[in-house]
Homo-oligomer: A and B are copies of this chain.
Amino acid sequence: MKILAVLYNGFKAAKAEPRLLGTVENELGLRPYLESLGHEFYVTSDKEGPQSEFQKHIVDADILITTPFHPGYLTRPIMEKAKNLKLCVTAGVGSDHVDINAAVDHKIQVLEVTGSNVTSVAEHVVMSILNLVRNFVPAHEMIERGEWQVSDIARNAFDLEGKTVGTIGAGRIGYRVLQRLVPFDCKELLYFDYASLSAEREQAVGARRINDLQEFVSKCDVVTVNAPLHDGTRGLINKKLLSHFKKGAWLVNTARGAICEADDVAEALKSGHLNGYAGDVWNVQPAPKDHPWRQMKNPLGGGNGMTPHYSGTTLDAQARYAAGTKTILQNYFEGKPQNPADVIVGVGKVESASYGQR
């Protein structure tokens, strides 16, 4: 078989750090295994446009492996050219780079490595909440500049204790965020989702569901987005919904950049209606140099906690998603059943409700 992987470049870092498995250089550690079975294995980071290595090799590839950090976008037109394609594996979690309906039509299975990095992302969420609420970035930058003026930091620093935190989405990541927030003595933990958690799981984290999104955001000091990107969530956080946020609320989005309207968020931060915005996902990745989220600040000069998309690709996460990708391939080659939680699209049918296909 021909196996194509679209990964990000690691350059010098990947040569110096062999645990950077998810890079073009280190190939998820799969080459010895795949070549021992006689498969062809192509790895590239070149993924944009019809002349890209991705589009050149996809036409006769049997299997595509890619990551959410630097995805090869598997659109319907590309699937129509990919006559041999039978399996698409996401090395990580989040398969919105695949047109799910088209994959069903083309009988292309879509699998991801469930659980490989959901904890990594949940940790990034809690870190980002604390950084915004406690005003960390301006404080650190003051030290780097050689200055010291506690009052300029303290005037916009708060405790997480006593605040209301809500998650849009209480699934694999959102629920882990709630679990990690329990000991912080928040005023209340809330969630918005299309279904309720079981009573047992609600009680375990002391969280309450709010059915109406506008009501939900109006109650939260901190809103965190932990939902997949699909037609129902694209642009969900826009000017209209932001107008229902509390003045001075903090927003953390490590889900997908396109769930927020980029310009609306930037405007809300600049006006001070949002006190902070943090996350590692962008509507375009890599984010262009002039993306408004790079430099946007609140009126006090802080409130920006952005990073490149890396929360799910810590070295610990890379070890897990590389191993998980190999397991999925082994199951596939040997005709063994896959872990059901990993299956987004089976042969000709959607298995996961995560992408709004119910």
Contacts and interface: CB of A to CB of B under 8 A. Distances in A.
Q: Which of A16, A280, A285 counts the most B-chain CB atoms under 10 A from its CB?
A: A280
Interface in A1-42: 8-11, 13-14, 16-17, 19-20, 22-23
A313 B156 CA distance: 10
A123 B289 contact: no
A151 B20 contact: yes
Contacts of A317: 159
Interface stretch (A124-132, A255-263, A322-330): A124-132
Interface in A118-159: 119-120, 123-124, 126-127, 130-131, 134, 136-137, 139-140, 142-144, 146, 148-159
Contact of A149 (B19, B119, B308, B311): B308
Contact of A139 (B70, B154, B307): B307
For this chain, the copies found in one complex come to 2
B123 A134 contact: yes
A211 interface: no
A19 to B, nearest CB: 8
Interface residues of A, number: 74
A310 B143 CA distance: 12
A139 B183 contact: no
A269 B14 CA distance: 22
A123 B130 contact: yes
B123 A160 contact: yes
A307 B13 contact: no
A-B residue pairs, 5 tightest by C-beta: A139-B307, A148-B286, A127-B130, A10-B151, A146-B289
11 contacts: A8-B150, A13-B155, A137-B140, A139-B307, A143-B293, A150-B310, A150-B313, A153-B310, A157-B310, A158-B314, A162-B316
